[in-house]
């Protein structure tokens, strides 16, 4: 086979494989939406039935238990009392929003506009169009009124419904959908308090955006977390390890580290060498972020943050800006990742208009969710006030 033929065959394979993958993704999304939408309707029927009967809790429990027994006998597994209760909660937690009602009205008005454009046609034709339009608009309106669009699996929603704060729940739902998180990854992101960590670095307006758009990255600070949770490295918190041990552990778990870093990160290299006037320096980890279109350099520090650490990172960033990045790329970002950082060192070492050098703490263990919130909540109000 000639090189040209081999190249053509390779392109054919890639095109077919891409088409099949897209088809599978579409099928999975369609199946998930059908299953969850069906469960949503079941939850709706349960709620409506209970509202017609006694309001006492005992009546509700009896209704669900009886329904569970009958459905299991006919359809098999999947209709336990707990699962039916979750279906009920799904309907109560995901009411149809006013936005959907407005959309259905706009669709209906659109159909009416279509009808008016054909005013010159015969009366019988107009009547037929009118009836067809009315039926279509009614069907669309009823669809909007009764079933939201569900993009995740049933297991995802069962987990999401355990999150009490609506804004936090919406954030994780958006991110799980946009980033195609498995249930395992969704649980990990929740357990590592991703939402709280992002809240700390945002003002009130940006915090509200988290529950509407998810985690969007438009500037350098959007890509920064504090702290970073590195529990997947397997380095016990109280045992002694070197910076090289930390770096090696990260390289061995680079895929997990990229997930923890967040959206758009690509790994460039380890111990990236910089030579200036016969002196050699090494950047611990170099990355590129395709969303920000810039290099992101990370230096690892085991002890307290020092002014020298920040000065060294300024050197690295300056070199990359002048010698590595091209004219179409944005300015380089540097992150000093340390066990302990001192805000006063950051304040008096970096310039006031600094938008390139950042410092973040890291933890090699996974804090309990409750512990994490207790540690962070006192700072949230202070930092939000400071930004406003």
* pLDDT tens, position by position, 67-117: 999 999 999 888 999 999 999 999 998 876 433 444 444 544 454 454 444
Question: Residue 304 pairs with which residues in a beta bridge?
Answer: 340
Could you read off the pLDDT of 354-376 as tens digits, one per residue?
Answer: 889 999 989 888 776 676 666 55
CA 68/CA 87 separation, integer angstroms: 12
Task: State residue 179's pLDDT score.
Answer: 87
Any idea what DSSP says for residue 324? I
Give the torsion through C-alpha atoms of 266, 267, 268, 271, to 10 deg.
Answer: 150
- Average pLDDT of the residues in 341-353: 86
Q: Check whether 378 has a pLDDT greater than 80.
A: no
Phi then psi dihedrals of residue 153, to 5 deg:
-75, 165
Answer with the residue of higher pLDDT: 236 or 197: 197
- Average pLDDT of the residues in 286-291: 95
Query: In a 3-state reduction of DSSP, which class is residue 283?
Result: strand
Task: State residue 56's pLDDT score.
Answer: 52
- pTM score > 0.75 for this model? no
Tokens describing residue 219 = 């500037």
Could you read off the pLDDT of 201-246 as tens digits, one per residue?
Answer: 676 677 778 888 888 888 888 888 888 989 899 887 656 788 888 9
Domain at 166-387, CATH from 1.10.10.60, 2.60.120.260, 3.40.1350.10, 3.30.360.10: 3.40.1350.10
Could you read off the pLDDT of 174-187 as tens digits, one per residue?
Answer: 999 988 899 999 99
Averaged pLDDT score across all residues of the chain: 80
Could you read off the pLDDT of 145-170 as tens digits, one per residue?
Answer: 556 778 899 999 999 999 988 899 99
Phi then psi dihedrals of residue 267, to 5 deg:
-80, 130
Domain edges within the chain: 3-93, 98-146, 166-387
What's the alpha-carbon Rg for the chain, to the nearest Å?
28
C-beta of residue 32 within 8 angstroms of C-beta of residue 50: no
Answer with the residue of higher pLDDT: 387 or 79: 79
Per-residue confidence band for 20, with pLDDT thresholds at 50, 70 and 90: confident
- Percent of the chain beyond pLDDT 90? 36
- Percent of the chain beyond pLDDT 70? 76
Q: Check whether 310 has a pLDDT greater than 50.
A: yes
Beta strands at 294-304 and 279-289: parallel, antiparallel or unpaired = antiparallel
- Average pLDDT of the residues in 250-265: 93
Q: Which of 295, 273, 297 is nearest to 285 (CA)?
A: 297
- Average pLDDT of the residues in 241-264: 91
- Average pLDDT of the residues in 190-196: 87
Question: Residue 281 pairs with which residues in a beta bridge?
Answer: 274
Per-residue confidence band for 339, with pLDDT thresholds at 50, 70 and 90: confident
The answer for 180, left when phi > 0, alpha when psi is -120 to 50, beta otherwise, is left
Q: Check whether 11 has a pLDDT greater than 70.
A: yes
CA 206/CA 388 separation, integer angstroms: 11
- Average pLDDT of the residues in 379-385: 44
Could you read off the pLDDT of 32-72 as tens digits, one per residue?
Answer: 888 899 999 999 988 888 877 555 555 566 778 889 999 99
Q: Check whether 317 has a pLDDT greater than 90.
A: yes
Q: Dump the DSSP string for 58-126.
A: HHHHHHHHHHHHHHHHHH-SS--HHHHHHHHHHHHHSPPPHHHHHHHHHHHHHHHHHHHTTTTS-HHHH
């Amino acid at each position: 086979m000639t090189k040209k033929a081999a190249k053509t065959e390779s392109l054919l394979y890639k095109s077919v494989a891409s088409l099949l993958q897209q088809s599978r993704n579409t099928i999975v999304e369609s199946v998930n939406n059908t299953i969850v939408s069906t469960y949503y309707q079941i939850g709706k029927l349960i709620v409506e039935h209970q509202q017609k009967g006694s309001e006492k809790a005992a009546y509700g429990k009896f209704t669900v238990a009886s329904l569970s027994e009958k459905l299991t006998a006919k359809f098999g597994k999947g209709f336990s009392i707990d699962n039916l209760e979750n279906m009920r909660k799904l309907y109560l937690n995901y009411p149809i929003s006013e936005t959907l009602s407005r959309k259905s009205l706009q669709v209906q008005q659109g159909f009416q506009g279509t009808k008016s454009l054909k005013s010159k046609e015969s009366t019988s034709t107009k009547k037929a169009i009118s009836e067809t339009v009315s039926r279509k608009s009614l069907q669309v309106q009823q669809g909007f009124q009764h079933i939201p669009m569900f993009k995740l699996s049933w297991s995802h929603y069962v987990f999401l419904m355990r999150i009490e704060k609506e804004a936090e729940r919406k954030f994780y739902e958006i991110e799980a959908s946009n980033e195609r998180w498995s249930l395992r990854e969704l649980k990990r992101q929740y357990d590592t308090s991703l939402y709280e960590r992002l809240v700390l670095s945002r003002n009130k307006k940006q915090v509200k955006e988290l529950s509407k758009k998810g985690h969007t990255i438009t500037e350098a600070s959007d890509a920064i977390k504090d702290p970073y949770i590195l529990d997947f490295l397997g380095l016990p918190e109280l045992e002694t390890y070197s910076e090289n041990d930390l770096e090696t552990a990260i390289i061995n778990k680079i895929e997990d580290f990229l997930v923890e870093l967040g959206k758009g990160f690509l790994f460039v290299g380890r111990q990236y060498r910089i030579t200036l006037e016969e002196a050699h320096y090494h950047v611990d980890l170099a990355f590129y972020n395709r969303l920000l279109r810039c290099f992101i350099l990370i230096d690892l520090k085991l002890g307290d943050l020092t002014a020298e650490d920040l000065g060294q990172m300024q050197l690295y960033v300056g070199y990359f800006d002048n010698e590595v990045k091209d004219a179409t790329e944005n300015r380089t970002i540097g992150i000093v990742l340390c066990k302990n950082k001192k805000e006063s060192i950051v304040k008096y070492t970096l310039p006031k208009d600094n938008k390139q050098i950042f410092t973040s703490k890291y933890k090699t263990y996974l804090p309990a969710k409750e512990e994490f919130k207790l540690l962070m909540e006192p700072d949230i109000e202070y930092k939000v006030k400071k930004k406003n």
